[in-house]
Structure 1
Amino acid sequence: MRFFTFFLMFLISHATANAQNEEISPNRYRFKYRSTVYKGSKLQITAQLRSLKTSSKFTGIPEEIQEELNTLFIATKKQAIPKYYKKHAILFLDAINDYEDFANVYENALHEAVRKVKKDIHVVDFKFERQFTKAKVALDRALKEDFSDLEKFDKLKKELQDSQTKLLCHRWMKKKFEKYKSIDIVKKPDQLMMTFKKSEAISVYKMYNENRIEKIPSYLENQIIDFYYKKSLPEINPEILDLQYITKI
């Protein structure tokens, strides 16, 4: 019995000594960041840091920010002394977490902008159709008259073309936004939304760092309307226009 007790104490003390040696070993790294403890070999911790950088939440990250993270990651990886490795790793983790915080603000603001545009699209739909029909009636009336004022005729023709383009683009956008049902459209965006999201990320990131967070949704609302409008121009067909409110013009 005494031998068993002695043997058990020996195993415990040996395990404790190994653990202590592991903690103080120059080949072992250990530090805490927020609620996460990073410990292990330099290779193991570097792999953990790399997995953070390459996780799905950083898909579509702007190139400028990606370069910053890569620079910090490479600087960390190069450190051979644990205390310097820890210092650089924390700088890298700060940048990662700062971008995550920004990404949450950005996605929520973008979702708010999408919801606002989606709501307004239905409100102005009748307005754009009425503008088109009024322009067409005005031009048709001018064509029936003995119209010698070519400048006025050209103006009416341009007003009709502009109102038609505006209505067609609006209807194209309306179809797109009607498919956007939840915040998934900004978290798992389609190609069009992904392009927009990437194109505005740096500008929004600047606003975020300047503490102008409350202005981000309205900024994105204006930008997304302009972006989708321009994308719609090569897609519309002036020969195909269905009037939804006014059946006779």
Structure 2
Amino acid sequence: MRFLVFWATLCIAFHINAQSSDYVSPNKYRFKYKSQKFKGTRLDITAQLRAIKNQPKFAGIPEEIQIQLNNLFKKAKEQPIPKVYKKNAIRFLDALYSYEEFVEIYDNALYQVVKKLKRDMRRIDFKFEREFTQAKVLLSRTQKEEPDQIQKIDTLKKEVYNNQMKLLSHRWMKDKFDKYKSYEIIENPDSLILEFKKKEAVNVFRMFEENQINKIERYLEDQIIDFYYKKSVPELDIKDLELDYLDKI
């Protein structure tokens, strides 16, 4: 009989102890997000969230997106009710990891655009040089054969100048892109790629949120050409132009 009483007491004690090991104090928070477990006081978990937020992979988030993330983080950390805190924390983590997915898509799309433009450079370079020389030949012929056609000559001069600037700008851009050898240019960008990435991040993020991922590469291609063209203009000098494929005129 004593043995049975002892055994019953032991079982009850074990059961109580097992329950206490799963018990979470009202001042404690506990939840799981994907493979990560969060458990502790509100300050403990907030510190975990902050550490995740400050990881290097989340560096460089555009200001507009950073403001949204900061607001979600603030809303979570200031919530004293565990159930609501958990809901707000998960919203913050959803937004943060959604941005991580976006960065991967954005970087890959930009790299594909850089590779494509590099492939196209030689063909486009020849095309632009031919257009410039053809415009120059036409101007020279008109000046000789129709010297009194002032308006026509002025128009042709503008065409020569525009084609010349287009070729120079392209050569400036080609020189930059020739130095982009690998994915390293995306992970450790030069000043131009870095500025472009920051400039377009918000626009591309909107496309990502609107599930227009298939349009991102085309958009980036158009934008990066315009971006590099505008960057090149202040540095161009028509005296620097040399013909690479056609006989000099």
TM-score (norm 2): 0.87
The separation in 2 between residues aligned to 1:90 and 1:135, in whole angstroms, is 62
8 Å contact 1:31–1:37 — kept in the other structure? yes
The separation in 1 between residues aligned to 2:18 and 2:40, in whole angstroms, is 14
Runs of 4+ in 1 over 6 A off after TM superposition: none
Greater mean alpha carbon deviation, residues 156-165 or residues 116-125: 116-125
5 Å matches for 1:213-228?
A: 213-228=213-228
Aligned length: 237
The separation in 2 between residues aligned to 1:184 and 1:40, in whole angstroms, is 40
8 Å contact 1:117–1:225 — kept in the other structure? no
Letter aligned with residue 184 of structure 2: D
The separation in 2 between residues aligned to 1:64 and 1:241, in whole angstroms, is 41
In the other structure, the counterpart of 1:9 is: none
Q: Secondary structure of the equivalent of 1:39?
A: strand
Say if 2:157 is the partner of 1:152: no
The separation in 2 between residues aligned to 1:77 and 1:18, in whole angstroms, is 31
Letter aligned with residue 41 of structure 1: T
The separation in 1 between residues aligned to 2:23 and 2:77, in whole angstroms, is 20
Using the aligned pairs only, state the percent identity.
Answer: 55
5 Å matches for 1:11-22?
A: 20=20
The separation in 2 between residues aligned to 1:22 and 1:74, in whole angstroms, is 29
Task: Give the deviation of 1:156 after TM superposition.
Answer: 1.1
In the other structure, the counterpart of 2:192 is: 192
8 Å contact 1:22–1:28 — kept in the other structure? no
Task: Give the deviation of 1:92 after TM superposition.
Answer: 0.4
TM-score (norm 1): 0.87
In the other structure, the counterpart of 2:101 is: 101
The two structures, once aligned, show a CA RMSD in angstroms of: 2.4
Q: Secondary structure of the equivalent of 2:32?
A: strand
Task: Give the deviation of 1:226 after TM superposition.
Answer: 1.1
Gaps of 5+ in 1: 1-12
Q: Secondary structure of the equivalent of 1:73?
A: helix
Letter aligned with residue 107 of structure 1: D
In the other structure, the counterpart of 1:33 is: 33
5 Å matches for 1:90-239?
A: 90-145=90-145, 147-239=147-239
Q: Secondary structure of the equivalent of 1:239?
A: helix
The separation in 1 between residues aligned to 2:191 and 2:59, in whole angstroms, is 13
In the other structure, the counterpart of 2:87 is: 87
Task: Give the deviation of 1:56 after TM superposition.
Answer: 2.1
Task: Give the deviation of 1:139 after TM superposition.
Answer: 2.3
Q: Secondary structure of the equivalent of 1:30?
A: strand
